[in-house]
Structure 1
Amino acid sequence: GHARARPDRLSGLLPAPRGTSRILAEPLGSLAGAVPPLPFSDLVDPTFYRGPTEESNWVLHGRLLVGAYPGAVDDGQNDAILRSILELGITTFVCLQSEYQHRGVSREDWIAGTKLRPYIYDAVRLLPSIRWPSPSQCCAPKPTEGLHFLHFPIVDCSTAND
């Protein structure tokens, strides 16, 4: 008995992710051509896959970044983490934390440590001031529609239902 995990997104603040239903509905075989081949492990330089934060790394360099919760209680540290991610051209955040809430969390809640800081609002606030990478530095063009956020809560150390 796990509760069925349900995706949620910030309504009104962020646009709906485009293409999500098309991608989820396609058989895996049709997507395989979009994924670059992995290099042989003896040819991999681990530093190439380091992400912008101490707790992040590239799964597919320049395309898919994974990492720990990208927020912090301290405003300066929080903004530095988010800037380092946004300046790489990252425009979609996927949160798997069941304890994350983006509505109804006050500053007092996350300062006291009773709830996680809803970092996506800070990312939206920072977006206009981000120095966007040139297309030669990153594959993502400057977003014209803001950021995308998908919340698919999974209880820590658990899995989601199929």
Structure 2
Amino acid sequence: MITQQQLQLYVTQVSNQYFNRPFHHVARFNKRLKTTGGRYLLRTHDLEFNPKMIDLPEFEGIVKHELVHYHLHLQHKGFQHKDATFKQLLIEVGGSRYAPRLAQAQRHLWHYQCENKHQIMRQRRFLENNYRCGQCGAKIFFVGEVDNR
């Protein structure tokens, strides 16, 4: 695992090497990022990265992707994914278009059943007193958690 200072130095080196431009803002980890590799903050111009993707071989591509947003925005050019300038610069520097998928976390499935034996599976629990069966309008009862392996 690398530290915040090492991340800052790494992002600065990648910026100088591939973009020939300095990186003057903050690069940091954000543990709350789940499915994305990183993000560019428009107001502060800082970059945040998912610490779970540090050890992946695609991490340099993620850094390049966020730096493309950073440099194009500071140059007042099209920095969004849909813009041609973004797509062109991303190809030139060899950045990744999408973040790689991480191993999926274990998900819970909650099993409910109505009075008329209709089966209802949900990813989130809910209070069954507040809802009725969508098929017949009968009361819903909680059955249990389903093993989702």
Q: What TM-score, normalized to structure 2?
A: 0.25
User: Per chain length, whose mean CA-contact separation is higher, i.e. which structure has more relative contact order (CA < 8 Å, sep 6+)?
Assistant: 1
Which is greater in Rg?
A: 2
Give the TM-score normalised by the residue count of structure 1: 0.23
